[in-house]
Amino acid sequence: MYKLALTMIIIIGCIFQNVQAQLISITPEELNFREVMVDSVAELEFTIENLAEEEYLIATVFSDNPENFSLSWTGEEAEAVKTMDILRQIYSGVIRYHQDYGEDPSTVEELVNEGYLELPEFIHQRWILWLIGSNPVTQIEAISLDEMPYGVGHVILFDVGTGIYTGFGTPIGDPQEPLRVMEEMNSLETAIIQYTQDYGEGPESVGILLDNEYLVIPPSLLR
């Protein structure tokens, strides 16, 4: 399973994104691996040498249970993209609220309480959210808390008139691209689990998953 995880990470690295939101090819020589222990669980961690900022993929390895294989993507850009997506959802809630009441909400909490918005737990833990302006709301602001991996006081600002984001982790050429890559990671995890259930052992490579139609990766994500 350790070998499988290592192989999977190397291949997934080939569809990783650089800081300009352009897909790049990653060779094994550019990856710096180390094994770490988190709560007594072995994990593999790597950095990519040709990125200006550190970005990580984490594979949690359980040798006795391949179904627990998991991947996650962290880094300033990934953290920003997740929060930017929430800011878009907030603005959609503002629009629907205004349509129903003829005025804008005064706070994000009002949107949540009235059922126009549902926020994931990580947002409550990592960011304070503000609506700026009223009738109309002109900007939506996120200010990081101590729990945010890169520290307190970082700001992401969404200008609703222009659709432009400024601040922490920006600019991003295509904010949806990292989300699509993360979706492919989730597809890989599902494919590994399904293959293991069907054959009683983990796949030796991503190629096997593709050949047996357990996994479909859009050509645009491959280099």
End-to-end CA distance of the chain: 25
Residue range 161-185: mean pLDDT, rounded:
67
Choose among 152, 151, 149, 155: nearest CA to 170: 155
Average of per-residue pLDDT values in the chain: 68
Confidence of residue 77 (pLDDT cuts 50, 70, 90): confident
Residue range 147-159: mean pLDDT, rounded:
93
Beta carbons of 183 and 223 less than 8 angstroms apart:
no
**Identity of the amino acid at 168:** F
Beta carbons of 216 and 210 less than 8 angstroms apart:
yes
Q: Is the pLDDT of residue 192 over 90?
A: no
Residues in the chain: 223
The pLDDT tens digits for 15-45 are: 333 322 233 333 444 444 444 444 444 444 4
CA dist 39 to 42, 60, 146, Å?
9, 11, 21
Instruction: Give residue 208's pLDDT.
Output: 74
Task: Take residue 140 and report the two structure tokens written for it.
Answer: 């939506």
What's the predicted TM-score (pTM) here?
0.54
Residue range 104-120: mean pLDDT, rounded:
95
Confidence of residue 85 (pLDDT cuts 50, 70, 90): confident
CA dist 104 to 109, 110, 159, Å?
13, 10, 16
Q: Which of 54-63, 95-104, 153-162 is predicted least confidently? A: 54-63
User: Dihedrals φ, ψ of 173, to 5°?
Assistant: -60, -45
DSSP string, 89-112: HHHHHHHHHHHHHSS--SSHHHHH
Q: Which of 49-58, 68-77, 188-197, 204-213 is predicted least confidently? A: 49-58
% of residues, the chain, pLDDT over 70: 51
Choose among 42, 44, 26, 47: nearest CA to 34: 44
